[in-house]
Chains A and B, each alone.
Chain A
Amino acid sequence: MCKILIVVNLIFTFGCAMGQDRMDHLFDLAVSASPGQFSTAASWVHMHRFGKKERLQLGYGVRLTSFVGANKFYTTAPAEYTSTRQDIATIFSETIDSNIDTITTATAITYCLNATFNAQYRIAPRWDIGLNIDITGVSFGPQRQFNIISSSFDANQQPVESGSPTHFNLLLTSDNDIGSLNSEFFVRFWATPKIGLRGGYTFLFSEYRTHQELSFDNGRIVNDRFRHKAGMALVAITFKPFN
């Protein structure tokens, strides 16, 4: 993680040394949706242009994301239960289905304020492709009541438990991630020099922490973190007011 931050810092330092005119400030409003779930995001991004033709742009920013899901399932989150590996290769490891338990709530609402990493590439005049991902930040939102849906739920526990969004967010890898994190993959068309329109795909983690730890399978699994993974269609508008 530290090595990555050092490399990113070097890139931005180099970019800054090339001159202040090689950077852009982007403001963006995004809406994402798929059946039963909805997300909005407002962000500010500081992009640095790289290369002779300045096609590659890397940057950082801040994003406020809201997520609303109706009757969505939240499943066991910690990688120690969900994946056969807990290192950086978690993303390629198999999911351990027998360790996955489910809780659900009528209306999930999470907000997260995260620092972002952003990258985009100019593929043609007025056209960019890119991606961005939340790195770390905080989450908040109203408390919710969750129903536990599991055939291995241990006795002497309440079948309905309250929970709140996990407060701290951190991007690691795949199921190692903690909290609520947003990411987008997009194509942008610059309709004018200052206004761009984006379309693409949003992949978002929304995570709740139950107020009591829940015990499953005769105490083999004791967990309070549950995650919903939302894939949604994305539309957005980007403003570049200072260029």
Chain B
Amino acid sequence: MIPKFLAIVALVLLSSSCEDAVDSPSTSGSNPTNPATGNPRPSGGLKHGAFTSYEHNLKGSVTLHLDTLDGAFIRLEEFTMLQGPDVRVYVSKSNNYSQANTIEIGSLKDSYLNENIDIPIANYSETYKFVLVYCLEFHSLFGYAELE
């Protein structure tokens, strides 16, 4: 009886520690510096944000998957939008577009559901806390999400 109880307790403890390892951002230690930019390397983990829409009936959310070793990518989730010309995805330091404050990470064409879009980790830092969906041809912000 006691060994069975201990086994159940051990299973419960193990499963909860696994969830922590997946969902919680790493907080241990200081982040090393990116030698290319001098910016602190982002810490690993997940960040999430819901889109605020301005144009093209944009809806959905975005998750940032960050791994300090393998790189980073964002994933658009439950994302819908009326198609537009030359629609790009940026990570940005602010909720508006400017060349100086953004890194382009991809473009949206026919299909954009369940796509992973890689972020060039060499230039990325945690100051880029917004994801913009932006029509470059007409300089129109379709929507943005703040990553938290």
Q: Which residues of A contact B (CB under 8 A)?
A: 71, 73, 104, 106, 145, 147-151, 153, 155, 159-160
Contacts and interface: CB of A to CB of B under 8 A. Distances in A.
Nearest to A159: B96
Interface stretch (B34-42, B97-105, B111-119): B97-105
B96 A153 contact: yes
Most A CB within 10 A of own CB, among B96, B97, B141? B96
Interface in B20-65: 54
B80 interface: no
- Summarize A's interface: helix, strand, loop or mixed: strand
A147 B94 contact: no
B54 A160 contact: yes
Interface residues of B, number: 15
A144 to B, nearest CB: 12
Contacts of B99: 151
B94 A155 contact: yes
Nearest to A106: B138
> Chain A CB within 10 Å — which of B54, B97, B100 has the most?
B97
Contact of A147 (B100, B101, B137, B140): B140
A73 B140 CA distance: 12
A11 B54 CA distance: 55
B95 interface: yes
B144 interface: yes
B139 A149 contact: yes
A104 B94 CA distance: 17
